[in-house]
Structure 1
């Protein structure tokens, strides 16, 4: 079967053009690298690596006992589960229509060294078009409620609940945490992470602007939309990290469809956002100072 036919039969996102994603392929010319990036055999190694990541990083990660008499004694292999031999063996279990024939020599021919494969695999895993990405399209009904629904507060709680579940119930966030820890001193990974955050942030920045405009809201003076979206992202990921580290902490209430992230969204909006048609032009610092000391903004300005 023609390679192009196999490529088009692959599931999303393996059927997409990966020439802009895979940067460490072992070819000299741009044309040959582009061809290799879209070769079904390359996709076979990526698919195997992604399954290994999901299996070992979670959710529902497979844990191997290191001591049958101690339930807490488990192997913690870090990236050892992505060894060349492990990846090649996993290629043999690929589902149709991925190729199932793999070898260490072919893997080394595709990527000059194993660190290059790891870098491209992590880049692919963090790629914003990957299905595990928190795609705003998945929350279209919630965003519609935020735009013009009758219960804005309930819609915010639903958004927080959806966002946290997309983080804790999918392997991508675990991969992101792992890569973040490994990024220091590694410019390749740092660049991949920077691109990842930028591609996630851009659509949500536009969404936040539209949502505020639709409700007649604006940010307090001194705050930019980029800073506001960064605050939301930090709060969401921090909440998800807390939920992963201690599932019994009560951060997520699946029965009630509530999370601490919903409360955090309410707090951020209450502190950072004001009505556009009112005269509250205080900065966040001025508003907090006035709240604590019960002083009007004019006295605050005179003091500073």
Structure 2
């Protein structure tokens, strides 16, 4: 049976124009057809499989690859995406993806391995790839976020599952590696920016609807975009800490005890206010006033004797 592009699973059935940009072809029509061919999609699938095997946590394939190379995975960065490994993976793809043997089909598609890697990373970090890996909408984005009785319990539960979800995502682990090693002006940052767009847009809508449903509004001095980015940074920061030091207790003993939930509650307490009770001040102004009032005043000597044996 012959399979076409439309037979491939999401996101491999999508239009790769503007994502895959480095395939070979003298004529423009040839290149356009190749970009959206099952062949290119299959090579991207093979590369995605290798990434998942190496960054997917305790996958047996990752351990086997490390043992075969004699090195720890983090020593080699993304060197596991070698032409040889890619060829082996292509031979084992399941339909509807194409199986290819040898490096002939590969070399006829990309002029060099770097071109393939650039196209692969642009695809992997495209926002179309976020939700298939995330796969935790019910645990973190369900209707219960707006309807459950206790908003505090909602925050605890959502942050707890969100931490666990992104910690197990190969995409998040790969992103950490890329961000840490890419040059400041490297094009990979554009791809990662696209990934953030896919990740944060749903959350922005959820924050907006949940804030309104709970009878709150953002206080003066903060926008919804800023609010969304702050919560994302908090969650990712705790995820990195949890990956690097699982004994730190980031997840605690359950949702009410997770550190990300505590931090998010602090953000909500600082930047949300009940509708109809607008303070008219920014958090900076409000805390500035509080800190001024809380500062101890300097004591002065009024010349009176104390009870410690002074002159009479």
Task: Calculate the TM-score normalised by the size of structure 2.
Answer: 0.82
Give 1:29 shift.
5.5
| Pick aligned residue for 2:42 from 44, 58, 67 | 44
Equivalent residue pairs, number: 288
Q: Secondary structure at the match of 1:124?
A: helix
Aligned counterpart, 1:116: 115
Aligned counterpart, 1:259: 258
Aligned counterpart, 2:55: 57
Distance 1:232 1:141, change over 3 A: closer
Aligned counterpart, 2:298: none
Aligned counterpart, 1:74: 72
Report the structure number with the largest CA radius of gyration: 2
Q: Distance in 1 between matches of 2:156 and 2:27?
A: 50
Distance 1:164 1:236, change over 3 A: same
Once the two structures are superposed, residues 66-97 of structure 1 have per-residue CA deviations (whole angstroms, 9 ceiling, x without a partner) of 999xxxx7352212111112111111121232
RMSD: 2.7
Give 1:264 shift.
1.9
The farther-off stretch of 226-235 and 7-16 is 7-16
Aligned counterpart, 1:299: none
Q: Distance in 2 between matches of 1:197 and 1:141?
A: 17
C-alpha contact 2:23 2:111 (8 A) present in aligned 1: yes
Q: Distance in 1 between matches of 2:99 and 2:140?
A: 40
C-alpha contact 2:140 2:162 (8 A) present in aligned 1: no
Aligned counterpart, 1:234: 233
C-alpha contact 2:128 2:198 (8 A) present in aligned 1: no
Task: Calculate the TM-score normalised by the size of structure 1.
Answer: 0.84
Q: Secondary structure at the match of 1:44?
A: helix
TM superposition outliers: structure 1 runs of 4+ over 6 Å: none
Gaps of 5+ in 2: 295-312
Once the two structures are superposed, residues 177-227 of structure 1 have per-residue CA deviations (whole angstroms, 9 ceiling, x without a partner) of 112123324532122122222232233222212211222212221111111
Once the two structures are superposed, residues 141-170 of structure 1 have per-residue CA deviations (whole angstroms, 9 ceiling, x without a partner) of 754223222111111111102211221112
Q: Distance in 2 between matches of 1:178 and 1:111?
A: 24
